């Protein structure tokens, strides 16, 4: 039993987790969120294809590329050396896919199964996700930044 506890302790030490329950929850929640939705791009590509503005090129490629980078970002925020750059990458990704949210809001007839309040609700929600990803770039989440 002692070796299992030591093993788990070593994993947490290697992850250089932030101090405090809420910061750990923010970090693991962010990772789970992006890994889950990234995988969903590969399982459910039709949904993501349907929300892409028609004027944008390379729809299937963009869906798979964004899914790949969501998974990559979700995994990399758990790696201490990559946490800050992964957080910034997720911020950039969220900004890059924002036109899909705008398209959904201004074209509700293309999404008859979704309430219009949900289509508009996604717009401010994206800024919360941006802040969530930005938060892991801060020193409180990056122990190396705190050591002097």
pLDDT tens-place string over residues 74-90: 999 999 999 999 999 99
Give the residue from 112, 93, 96, 129 showing the smallest Cα distance to 50.
Answer: 112
- Average pLDDT rounded to a whole number, residues 4-17: 73
pLDDT class of 148 with cuts at 50, 70, 90: very low
**The pLDDT of residue 5:** 74
Read off the tokens for 71: 């998974």
- Whether 147 shows a pLDDT value over 60: the answer reads no
Q: With beta carbons less than 8 A apart as the criterion, state whether 70 and 37 touch.
A: yes
Q: For the chain, what percent of residues have pLDDT higher than 90?
A: 76
């Amino acid at each position: 039993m002692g070796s299992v506890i030591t093993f788990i302790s070593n994993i947490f030490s290697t992850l250089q987790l932030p101090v405090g329950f809420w910061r750990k929850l923010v970090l693991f929640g962010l990772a789970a969120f992006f890994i889950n939705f990234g995988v969903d791009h590969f399982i459910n590509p039709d949904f993501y294809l349907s929300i892409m503005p028609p004027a944008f090129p390379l729809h299937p490629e963009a869906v798979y590329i964004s899914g790949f980078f969501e998974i990559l970002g979700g995994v990399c925020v758990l790696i201490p050396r990559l946490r800050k750059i992964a957080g910034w990458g997720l911020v950039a990704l969220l900004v890059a896919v924002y036109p899909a949210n705008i398209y959904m809001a201004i074209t509700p007839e293309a999404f008859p199964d979704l309430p219009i309040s949900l289509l508009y609700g996604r717009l401010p929600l994206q800024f919360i996700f941006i802040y969530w990803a930005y938060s892991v770039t801060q020193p409180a989440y990056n122990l190396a930044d705190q050591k002097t």
